[in-house]
Structure 1
Amino acid sequence: MPGDSLNVHLNTKATAQNTYDAIVVGSGISGGWAAKELCEKGLKTLVLERGKNVEHIKDYAGTEKDIWDLTHRNKLTAEDKHNSPIQSKCYAFDEVSKKFFVNDLENPYTQVKRFDWVRGNHVGGRSLMWGRQSYRWSDLDFGANAKDGHGVDWPIRYKDVANWYSYVEKFAGINGNRDGLPQLPDGEFLPAMEMNCLEKHVAARIKESFKDRTMIIGRSANHTKQIGSRGPCQYRNKCHQGCPFGGYFSSNSATLPAATATGNLTLRPFSIVLDVLYDKDKKRATGVRILDSETMKTEEYYAKVVFLNASTLGTAHILLNSVSDVFPNGFGNSSEQVGHNLMDHHYGIGARGEYEGFEDQYFYGRRPNGIYVPRFRNIDDNSKRTDYVRGFGYQGGARRDRVDSAEGIGIELKEKLTEPGNWMMQLGAWGEHLPYYENKVTLNKEKKDKWGLPTLDIDCEFKENEKIMRKDMAESAVEILEKAGLKNVKTFDNDPAPGFCIHEMGTARMGRDPKTSVLNGNNQMHDVQNVYITDGACMASSACQNPSLTYMALTARAAEHAVSELKKGNI
């Protein structure tokens, strides 16, 4: 069995060369933070990335071009859609950014039920293409499982993470306002971006019309002030193509350079982690085994502590593939929870309408951020619903389109086409997905990928609670926009499958009981104390806020714990 293959390592030169204090698997948002924190605390750290290297600025080719300078005017080709039928459906996939997305033909998986798995296998991972919305969770979220009985109780509460939110926000650079909302705690913010005239109007009307709702400017990881050598944001709204100005947080622009500056970082791309090595006598992980995706040779690396940050499904794959006589069903899986409790936010539903007015006003620039209506359902007794649990928030914004049609030819037509049309506004909902044990991933050893490795079968769906919530999502959006004075308000429902929100969570959840969870309150594996998991796999519930800021805070917190435990000799 691979997990038992080297319970005792000879002290050879090769072994010494491949030995580090810490190994981090993955270089995305959480992996970058793990690298930064461990390196800054003095640990010689190896970061293993399964994809190619992406160097900040150098490898953002194309983002400096205007649409008319691109061969396909930033549109997708038939080949793009053929090679990446799933990735190409993502809003961030275009002629320039497509190099940051996987080729679906080379990276197959089985959709037992439809699941759109959007991936970026390269240094920086999806931190290059993410939507940058950055919201804290509150005790409403961390206490939800215990309150309504879905999933297992989080072993932490907001007070355990609050200082770590502050810590990562100051470095990551989050813009926003201090809005004083208990369900959406304030953070350490850069100056907020500004709403346009219609958004300000709608926000004021919401305040007048509803006691339980408010609309704020979004909180995003775009830098409205310079942070060291990063930023400020240039309002180009091309973030997903890579930002040569360092105008938003990514591993490539922020955490990995910080780790490199310590002299303690070794970054190894093209390194597909196959399994975690385990010493059953010491009950500790000794390192990992990789496949070099260029040479197709395997190699082993050793460390005192291992951080798994390969993404929710990537980490699940590694755990399930790491079998031994101690862990026949997957590494650290005595609870039989590894691969289960998969979640994603359900979204793609809301309403939009037109506004008659503000004809003399427009907006400047391409603000890479929108508005946010924080959760207002099931917060207290006054907002409690009897038909579903948990809640949702809205993201969206207002804009002024061009005229729908114009008559004439030549100069006359061109001039008319430059005239702005009516103002419009859209609200799109993001809803919480409950943790269901039967929503799961399993290894398929018959269906192999490009490298001959097992693939994943993904069996995940939205259930009755989510479907009932969606009715309220649409109806409440209409109610808000109509109260704000918009006309021709209509609902929409794109009905996207799980995965497409790209907020997949679960598969190695935190919990208080080793019998029902994989990780403890410090993100340590219950079964193997020197392995930490701080990517989306660790989440015990999904809340309705974008989760990446919480991954950052949990990672920094876990790194502090790991180094402390190393110094004490506990791991």
Structure 2
Amino acid sequence: MQNSKVTTYDAIVVGSGISGGWSAKELCEKGLKVLLLERGRMIEHVKDYHTATKAPWEFLHRNQQMPLDLLKQYPVQNRTGFAITEATHHHFVNDLDNPYVEEKPFDWIRGYHVGGRSLMWGRYSFRFSDLDFEANAREGIATDWPIRYKDIAPWYEYVERFAGIAGDRDGIPHLPDGQFQPAMPDNCVEQHFRHAVNSQFPDRKVISARAAHLTAPTKEQMALGRAKCQYRNMCMRGCPYGAYFSTQSATLPAARQTGNLTVRPHSIVNSIIYDEKKGRATGVRVIDEQTNEWLEFSAKLIFLNASALGSTFILLNSKSNRFPNGMDDSGQLGHNLMDHHFHVGATADYENDLDKVYYGRHPAGLYIPRFRNVGPDKQAFKRGYGFEVYTNRQNWDQAFGLDGFGADFKDKATRFGIWQITLDAFGECMPYYDNQVYLTDDVKDKWGQPVLKMDVHYRDNETLMRKDAREQAVLMLEKAGFKNIEGFDSQAHPGLSIHEMGTARMGNDPKTSVFNRFNQHHAVKNVFCTDGACMTSSPCQNPSLTYMALSARAADYAVKELKKGNL
């Protein structure tokens, strides 16, 4: 902890994940003294990635299973099927200390520590286009986005250059190209699938996934201690090479270089302090996670970056005479919660090219951008979905299913098995007003605070979309000559995609939105929000790159307004 006796700053940033790291970096580089508050513990780059270089045999249970007494602390986080292992469990929250209430099943996957989910994210980084920004207005639903692609395009370029995105310039109008480092090379299965689909389906295009991994680091990136991706694909443990973008590897060291940053971990922001006479926020109330002490910190600017639901909790809990129901005039706060629906598609085997292998482990595969409801194409459902495409080759664990013994068995067990491929669709969820979260005192967290109650479910539009995604995945694999094709639909709950959006949306009208076109609170002008809470709709692309761009853009605007004396 630095400067712990100082309680007044130019700006307070709440949350240190992808958007919070960007907000802190930008505000610091513009000369503001910034307090970055994180509710969880400190994780220092490299030295606190305790499992990053461990081999399987260095774990008590070979990283194959968790002790039952420890697993009981993660009943929600463990639903993902990928999160809780001996190598990664420490990056996910203890659900017993951090409960919430489910009116309907909702998987709230969280990481409370410096860096937040930037340490565990999937790293796919796609721009939105006007197909996305104009969708609500075109269909006459919800509220219109207050920005268009031209407003955010320069900021996409700005954050891409700093973060480092590997990809190709593919010339797809509704998935705009960006500033890319070289894409990761295809393996033989990816080459085959890409060629087969691109040649047989003129309405769709298989491309390299655009991922936040360095493949040709710039001088700026290397100066921050970052290096080229090593193809280990153990990213969720923390990357000691700084090869993928995270708060620890990129924005935090840049902010620290300015000398303007104070990081305070173990700081649970309970609410925003509102001054009735001044008509503005003056600071935040904080509970020290370790001591339970209540503290107050003051600032001219407040940036909410605590995650979509974290920021919404703070706004809902920021009650005053002016805002008896939370810091909102629109009645939209807590509503319109969206999350991509996924775990629907198909798997198959590829029985050719058995003499070929590949080097390393791919941390990113292929991507099929949205091809439904683009142009004249019209479906029974609104919006669309994209496919993430993963490939692998069976290794020695195929021997679990082999019969035999002796030398012949050993020989078979040490050979690679067949190639496999998975197409997993990520589909857009519509902004339904009654998909909502709200505060309840029925349950309290470890620190005596109310918790969020989730009342969210997918509807007919998502069901129709999933049916089409499954059928199209099977069809593409059939046309591409794969074998043993199986469609799947796991009926995943909202939340599992970990792309929560909405609940404090942007808009032009204060009567129908919480934040304006610059992510500025309509009524409390010195409060900004640039995480998933501000999203007006949920385009099927992964949203984190947009959070980065919105954060940089809002920080630029906020500092200019501050210097003009408008805040």
Give the TM-score normalised by structure 1.
Answer: 0.95
**Which of 175, 195, 199 is the matching residue for 1:184?**
175
Q: How does 1:67-466 map to 2 (within 5 A)?
A: 67-74=56-63, 75-90=65-80, 91-226=82-217, 227-228=221-222, 229-331=225-327, 333-381=328-376, 383-385=377-379, 387-402=380-395, 403=398, 405-466=401-462
Q: Which amino acid aligns with 2:550?
A: L
- The alignment status of 1:566 with 2:556, answered yes or no, reads no
Give the CA deviation at 1:209: 0.8
Q: Extract unaligned runs of 5+ from structure 2.
A: none
Tell me the equivalent position of 1:44.
Answer: 33
2:77–2:83 Cα contact (<8 Å) kept: no
Note closer, same or farther for the CA distance 1:543–1:325 as it changes in structure 2 (3 Å cut).
Answer: same
1:25–1:308 Cα contact (<8 Å) kept: yes
Q: How does 1:530-545 map to 2 (within 5 A)?
A: 530-545=526-541
Indicate the percent of aligned positions where both proteins have the same amino acid. Answer: 57
Q: Which amino acid aligns with 1:138?
A: S
Tell me the equivalent position of 2:43.
Answer: 54
1:534–1:551 Cα contact (<8 Å) kept: yes
Q: Which amino acid aligns with 2:370?
A: R
Residue-by-residue CA offset, 1:493-543 (whole Å, 9 max, x unaligned): 111100010000011000111000001000000011110000000000000
Q: Which amino acid aligns with 2:378?
A: K
In structure 2, C-alpha distance between the alignment counterparts of 1:561 and 1:141, rounded to whole Å = 23
In structure 1, C-alpha distance between the alignment counterparts of 2:463 and 2:16, rounded to whole Å = 35
Give the CA deviation at 1:410: 4.5
Q: Extract unaligned runs of 5+ from structure 1.
A: 1-13
In structure 1, C-alpha distance between the alignment counterparts of 2:76 and 2:442, rounded to whole Å = 22
Q: Secondary structure at the match of 2:417?
A: strand
Give the CA deviation at 1:247: 1.3
Q: Secondary structure at the match of 1:549?
A: helix
Which has the larger displacement, 388-397 or 76-85?
76-85
In structure 1, C-alpha distance between the alignment counterparts of 2:113 and 2:4, rounded to whole Å = 27
Tell me the equivalent position of 1:496.
Answer: 492
Residue-by-residue CA offset, 1:402-459 (whole Å, 9 max, x unaligned): 4564343344423211212222211010000000110111101231011111111011
1:80–1:88 Cα contact (<8 Å) kept: no
Which has the larger displacement, 262-271 or 291-300?
291-300
Q: Which amino acid aligns with 1:210?
A: F
Give the CA deviation at 1:16: 9.0
Which has the larger displacement, 336-345 or 418-427?
418-427
Tell me the equivalent position of 1:3.
Answer: none
Give the CA deviation at 1:488: 2.0
1:341–1:436 Cα contact (<8 Å) kept: yes
Which has the larger displacement, 27-36 or 142-151?
142-151
1:352–1:491 Cα contact (<8 Å) kept: yes
Q: Secondary structure at the match of 1:17?
A: coil
Q: Which amino acid aligns with 2:86?
A: E
Tell me the equivalent position of 1:6.
Answer: none
Give the CA deviation at 1:336: 0.9
Tell me the equivalent position of 2:548.
Answer: 552
1:206–1:483 Cα contact (<8 Å) kept: yes
Residue-by-residue CA offset, 1:23-52 (whole Å, 9 max, x unaligned): 000000000000000000000000111111
In structure 1, C-alpha distance between the alignment counterparts of 2:84 and 2:176, rounded to whole Å = 32
Which has the larger displacement, 422-431 or 156-165?
422-431
1:134–1:220 Cα contact (<8 Å) kept: yes
Q: Which amino acid aligns with 1:281?
A: K
Q: Which amino acid aligns with 1:243?
A: C
In structure 1, C-alpha distance between the alignment counterparts of 2:105 and 2:534, rounded to whole Å = 23
RMSD: 1.4
In structure 1, C-alpha distance between the alignment counterparts of 2:141 and 2:346, rounded to whole Å = 29
In structure 2, C-alpha distance between the alignment counterparts of 1:196 and 1:522, rounded to whole Å = 42
Give the CA deviation at 1:283: 1.1
Q: Secondary structure at the match of 2:418?
A: strand
Tell me the equivalent position of 2:20.
Answer: 31
In structure 1, C-alpha distance between the alignment counterparts of 2:389 and 2:502, rounded to whole Å = 27
1:308–1:315 Cα contact (<8 Å) kept: yes
Give the CA deviation at 1:284: 0.8
Residue-by-residue CA offset, 1:322-360 (whole Å, 9 max, x unaligned): 1011000101x1101111100000000101112231122
Q: Which amino acid aligns with 1:118?
A: I
Q: Secondary structure at the match of 1:346?
A: coil
In structure 1, C-alpha distance between the alignment counterparts of 2:277 and 2:411, rounded to whole Å = 78
Q: Secondary structure at the match of 1:513?
A: coil
Q: How does 1:481-520 map to 2 (within 5 A)?
A: 481-520=477-516
Which has the larger displacement, 118-127 or 62-71?
62-71
In structure 1, C-alpha distance between the alignment counterparts of 2:354 and 2:244, rounded to whole Å = 33
Q: Aligned pair count?
A: 555
Note closer, same or farther for the CA distance 1:201–1:15 as it changes in structure 2 (3 Å cut).
Answer: closer
Q: Which amino acid aligns with 1:79?
A: D
1:174–1:219 Cα contact (<8 Å) kept: yes
In structure 1, C-alpha distance between the alignment counterparts of 2:4 and 2:107, rounded to whole Å = 40
Note closer, same or farther for the CA distance 1:16–1:528 as it changes in structure 2 (3 Å cut).
Answer: farther
